[in-house]
A and B are shown apart, each in its own frame.
Chain A
Amino acid sequence: MSSELRYTANTQLEHLHARYTGTGHADLSKYDWLTHQHRDTLATVVGHPTLTSFLAIADGEATGRVKFEMTERMLQPCGPPPAKDED
């Protein structure tokens, strides 16, 4: 791969990452990956009526409440991010 090509491929990749939220890359941190996973899962639970019903029955809550709490949890599903190293 010529350096030029690598350069264009990279910009494309960045563009793709901005476009497709949740796509991973080589330097993804564990925290980011996990957060993406959780957000994807929560979104799919809200998106499938059977899964929301299932959770609502198990938990004894209304489906509307389950959907709401799931959506709220998407904001920060895995707690605050780890502190960045100083360097």
Chain B
Amino acid sequence: MHLYNLTLQHATAAPQAIVGNFSGARQQEIIVSHGTRLELLRPDVQTGKITTVIASDAFGSIRSLAAFRLTGGNKDYAIVGSDSGRIVILDYDPKTSAFVKVHQETFGKSGARRIVPGQYLAVDPKGRSVMIAAMEKAKLVYILNRDAAANLTISSPLEAHRNAAIIHHIVGVDVGFENPMFAALEVDYTESDQDPTGEAFNNADKLLTYYELDLGLNHVVRKWSEPTDPRANLLVQVPGGQLASSDRYDGPSGVLHRVPIPRRKHPLEDKDRGVIITSAVMHKMKGAFFFLLQSEEGDLFKVTIDHEDEEVKTLKIKYFDTVPIASSLCILKSGFLFVAAEFGNHQLYQFQKLGDDDIEPEFSSTDYPSFGMSEPTLALPRAYFRPRPLENLALADEMESLNPILDAKVMNLLPNSDSPQIFTACGRGARSTFRTLRHGLEVEETVSSDLPGIPNAVWTTKVKEDDPFDSYIILSFVNGTLVLSIGETIEEVQDTGFLSSAPTLAVQQIGADALLQVHPHGIRHVLADRRVNEWRVPQGKTIVAASTNKRQVVVALSSAELVYFELDLDGQLNEYQDRKAMGSTVLALSIGEVPEGRQRTPFLAVGCEDQTVRIISLDPESTLETISLQALTAPPSAICIADMLDASINRSQPTMFVNIGLQNGVLLRTVLDPQNGQLTDTRTRFLGTRPVRLIRVQIQHQPAILALSSRTWLNYTHQNLMHFTPLIFDNLDYAWSFSAELSPEGLIGITGSVLRIFQIPKLGTKLKQDAMPLTYTPRKFISHPTNNYFYCIEADHRVLGEAAVEQKLQELRAKGQTIDEEVLNLPPEQFGRPKAPAGTWASCIRIIDPVEGKTVSVVHLDNNEAAFSLAILPFAARNNELHLVVGTAQDTFLSPRSCTSGFFRTYSFTNEGTGLELLHKTETDDVPLSLMGFQGRLVAGVGRALRIYEMGKKKLLRKVENKTFGSAIVSLNTQGSRILVGDMQESVSFAVYKAPENRLLVFADDTQPRWITCSTMVDYTTVAAGDRFGNVFINRLDLKVSDQVDDDPTGAGILHEKGLLMGAPHKTKMLCHFHVGDMVTSIHKVSLVAGGREVLLYTGLHGTVGILVPLVSKEDVDFISTLEQHIRTEQTSLVGRDHLAWRGYYVPVKATVDGDLCEMFARLPPSKQSAIASELDRTVNEVLKKLEQLRVTASGF
């Protein structure tokens, strides 16, 4: 088996984000690390919207990012610390729109290791050096400078190691132009490792150590070390240091000022819990600076320092606002705050004010004795604030993020959809959502209005060439034409010069200020002064097809003749003297736009009933001569010539594409060679069941093509590459561009008798998301086999359940405490829920209607129970009636796993699945992490035991048990009497249930330990699974063993077989292995296109959606793996990670080709493309076509 891995949706989590002037323009940009991918975002200062400039795969794990600017420079570089054992400096090149590796310095082994730097980065604020540190011991300092040609140079590394020191954080200290200085927060473990009494551990000092880079001597010295608070976790740079001429502050004077971190005044506050700051940002303005710190609950605090020169007078902290918990905060000079959320959507806020003059209580170090340092070992008295809705910030934009995907299902549930949707349970805590992902572009409808009849076509037109917006909408009906004018309102107009008594075939604004209408009996040329020149069709003939542009008109007559007109310099439309007889009825015609600075386009494409397309010259030398001919598989229904940019074909100028739509719903895309007019590089795509219609439109000032069939598709250029994506919108019968003041970039279309104006806001996205809120973190969900509902279990650790909250409030009320209802009722989506001690759970079961996108009902669990697994199954003992079984546990602790009792809650469905009725609860001794229906019974993984239960009157009855599993059973799959058991640490084992003897026997397992997260059966002997470290793999059982086990009626043979390698008697063989780079949370065997092959679709925790496509022929395998090999040598990773090593992070990659890497072929420079293609004995186009075909046939993307 050979697989081809393609990522459909890249990870959307943002573990880190930095801000800087990366393109060197005045505007600031944001670089977001998505873990394995870098994305450059540009916030629009005017609209407050974020757009993606580029995103590129790093093929490595990005651990740290820092923006860096040389002294006196005007451009920021991005420094990347990763798991490659290398430091990489990236430069964004706006010309090629790509990240360019400026420097790549190797310092250690690859991998996220303890003593290999890469985890922390700190830059000198004056841009002279950078420190890169590991989790322990290793710190390297590089000196950055510029050479005579103003290029960035990097020195060899200087070591600032400190043995046995665990590093918590590092930061660059602002010392002005003194020697660069770095501060590190370190703990030494030498003594606590030697002291059996544990005293040294308790007294271990957390040291704040300053490292000075002596630029003169070119080495790093440890300057000072000063113990600080043992729970310190974060360092923030304070600006200043320009006046460091006095030696008064030479050396540390201990902590000078201290303020408490304010806590929420919440009635349900857990008083034993501390609060830490998890992210911080410093912002410098003219003559002032402030800090925004975010606590782990999401509250932002504004910290200011009053100082006189270098002497700090007071340190003040006050509550600012509450935003989602961020992994990074970025303040832009234009007054925006970018919050890269640790989970859920990322947000861009605009500062409304800086919280300077509000009534928020401020805590100042001067309020405490000795600036809060009178007793440094003791905590300061607690400070409280009242959380409130946003006051200083306003939400400007949101970036959708699927992170984290905890479970997913792929099904086709929506009506009128021919491809399946991906349903995902996303998010954490109160920000959780249930999202439906559909392949396609989002459409925003602005106008929808009913028309008197059913039009068959619609056009818009300007009146003059240089008008900014369209003036008329022309609707063609079977027996007439309607002209509407676009103004403040849209109304019918009469005196436009258009013939209203006949249908229209084409409308064109022609020349400088004239209009043109083609109708079945002639062509009307409406001049600016409303005079009409009409060309009439000879008696007995009609026009059947027409195509126009600004200077040319071609019409086809019913007598299979072509008539060609061209505008002369006086603005007169002249007929070419000859008519061209085609010999077969013309079905479709197309001419391209007039190229800039030219008189005419030289090619005409004609589609005839004899299933051919001919390219005809319009050149004055050879007018109406046939140049080339292409045979088709069906009669054409539409043709469209468009010049569009596709960097994989030609990166400097647009390519002329001839798109041919066939009556059977297939679209052919060919490239027209401008030299000889030959058609080459044909690619086909099935669009839908109706004959295809093609319309050339403008999307974001770029030519694009709308292809209408039973679905509407848009073919457009995005980031220099061509995309072909369906629109998520009703079927359109016809469409055209629409440009008016209110909707400058719109489209107009007709569906039946409804006229609709719409636009496409987000180009480049392939999956449209529709979200629905959930209460707690979703754990798993399941679909019902007969109704279309999903049943989802949600559970949150360290959160009080509804009943517990009520009880606690009552207790408080009984004690006579007043409860701040306002704080209590703050929306949890924004503020989160108050944290409770470990072992506290809130959980519910939710019934979701995925079609309507709403919750049907919710069942809350009480008694501190949390749901961990669920199954819908028929019980044979109850006439195969379907039941829902939910596995829960009470008072669960995670590490080590324990609970007072586990339960199976057995529910029956009421009201056609919209309600649940609890039948009984069955106690278990451990947490049931997986459940499944099996031959009319329930099979459950309870801790490390696999059991089969039968339905009973008051309880489920345990029938058989097997306790040979390693740690805990997390996944179950079945076919026949075979059960596949995925263990949390010990991979997937094959078990069989032998009914005659009531035996549950494990007969095969894996040779490797695997931390399984999910698994699915590919066939009876094969399993595909994902593990916690980001791998997917496929294991297969030997067919002989499989047969032998099935042939053994009692299982006595297996029972007495000798175990192999301290496990089951047989071992599975690994067929494929691939490191995805994201923790795989679900894996499904599905077909994504109607009638297409089945693929394995997986979802990743950080928001990845990818597929593994089985390659069908040996030829494909050879071709694609050789291609991968070549690109691997050409396209080196952005972070300097070896691609082969990355994809084989834990286990060498096996029989899987990285499609994401192969698709980089389109972005390689042409010389490299052709070199690789010739190595493969193909042309560049053939390679591109093969790649596209692999993607399209497997995923439809």
Point out residues on A near B: beta carbons under 8 Å.
Answer: 18, 20-22, 32, 35, 39-40, 42-44, 46-51, 53-54, 56-65, 68, 71-72, 74-76, 79-84
Contacts and interface: CB of A to CB of B under 8 A. Distances in A.
B343 A53 contact: yes
Given A44-B112, A76-B192, A80-B197, A50 B797 contact: no
Contacts of B1079: 50-51, 53-54
A56 B163 contact: no
Interface string B82-106: 0100000000000000000000000
A56 B325 CA distance: 12
A21 to B, nearest CB: 5
A46 B196 contact: no
Interface stretch (B113-121, B648-656, B690-698, B1050-1058): B113-121
Given A44-B112, A53-B404, A60-B799, A21 B136 contact: yes
B327 interface: yes
Contacts of A46: 119, 135
A76 B166 CA distance: 11
B279 interface: yes
Nearest to A22: B114
B31 to A, nearest CB: 16
Contact of A48 (B61, B798, B835): B61
Given A43-B113, A50-B1101, A57-B428, A62 B1078 contact: no
Given A46-B135, A51-B1028, 19 more contacts: A21-B136, A40-B113, A40-B114, A44-B112, A46-B119, A47-B83, A48-B112, A50-B1100, A53-B1102, A56-B342, A58-B797, A62-B325, A63-B325, A64-B278, A65-B278, A74-B166, A75-B189, A79-B198, A84-B196
B279 A64 contact: yes
A75 B192 contact: yes
5 contacts: A39-B114, A49-B35, A58-B894, A59-B838, A62-B325
A17 to B, nearest CB: 11
Interface string B119-140: 1000000000000001111000
Contacts of A43: 112-114, 119, 134-136
B276 A75 contact: no
A53 B342 contact: yes
Contacts of A76: 189, 192-193, 201
Contacts of B201: 75-76, 80
Given A21-B136, A21-B163, A63-B342, A49 B276 contact: no
Interface of B: 13, 15, 35, 61, 63, 83, 111-115, 118-119, 134-137, 163-164, 166, 168, 187, 189, 192-198, 201, 204, 231, 233, 276-279, 296-297, 325, 327, 342-343, 403-404, 406, 428-429, 777, 796-799, 835, 838, 894, 1028-1030, 1078-1079, 1100-1102
Contacts of A18: 163
Main secondary structure of the interface of A (DSSP, over half): helix
B1062 to A, nearest CB: 21
A51 B325 CA distance: 18
Contacts of A75: 166, 187, 189, 192, 201, 204
A53 B427 CA distance: 11
A23 B965 CA distance: 32
A50 B1075 CA distance: 13
Given A22-B115, A43-B135, A60-B798, A49 B204 contact: no
Contacts of B192: 75-76, 80
A42 B797 CA distance: 22
Contacts of B233: 68, 71
Contacts of B204: 75
Nearest to B429: A60
A76 B147 CA distance: 47
Contacts of B83: 47
Nearest to A77: B189
B12 to A, nearest CB: 12
Contact of A60 (B134, B195, B796): B796
Contacts of B835: 60
Contacts of A83: 196
Nearest to A41: B114
Contacts of B296: 61-62, 64-65
A68 B894 CA distance: 18
B189 A50 contact: no
Given A21-B114, A57-B428, A50 B166 contact: no
Contacts of A72: 231
B136 A62 contact: no
Query: Which of A35, A40, A49, A65 has the largest count of B CB atoms less than 10 A from its CB?
Result: A49
Contact of B61 (A22, A39, A49, A54): A49
Given A61-B798, A64-B278, A39 B163 contact: no
B743 to A, nearest CB: 40
Contacts of A44: 111-114
Given A75-B201, A80-B195, A59 B894 contact: yes
Contacts of A40: 113-114
Nearest to B1079: A50
Contacts of A58: 797, 894
A68 B798 contact: no
Contact of B1102 (A20, A49, A62, A82): A49
A40 B634 CA distance: 64
Given A44-B112, A48-B112, A49-B61, A74 B135 contact: yes
Contacts of B119: 43, 46-47
Nearest to B427: A57
A59 B798 contact: yes
A57 to B, nearest CB: 5
A46 B1100 CA distance: 18
Given A49-B61, A53-B342, A76-B192, A64 B276 contact: yes
B84 to A, nearest CB: 12
A51 B1028 CA distance: 8
B504 to A, nearest CB: 58
Contacts of A32: 193
Nearest to B64: A47
Contact of B342 (A39, A54, A62, A84): A62
Contacts of B193: 32, 35, 76, 81
Nearest to A45: B112
A32 B189 CA distance: 12
A33 to B, nearest CB: 13
A56 B1030 CA distance: 17
Pick from B296, B403, B798, B1102 the residue with the most CB of A within 10 Å. B296
Contacts of A64: 276-279, 296, 325, 327, 342
A50 B327 contact: no
B164 A21 contact: yes
A63 B1101 CA distance: 14
A18 B187 CA distance: 18
A82 B551 CA distance: 92
B169 to A, nearest CB: 9
Nearest to A46: B135
A47 B374 CA distance: 38
Contacts of B297: 62
Contacts of A79: 198
B1030 A50 contact: yes
Nearest to B799: A60
Contacts of A62: 278, 296-297, 325, 342
Contacts of B35: 49-50
Given A44-B112, A53-B13, A74-B166, A81 B194 contact: yes
Contact of B404 (A42, A48, A57): A57
B168 A71 contact: yes
A10 to B, nearest CB: 20
Nearest to B193: A81
A57 B1102 CA distance: 12
A50 B1102 contact: yes
Contacts of B115: 20-22
Contacts of A61: 296, 798
B61 A65 contact: no
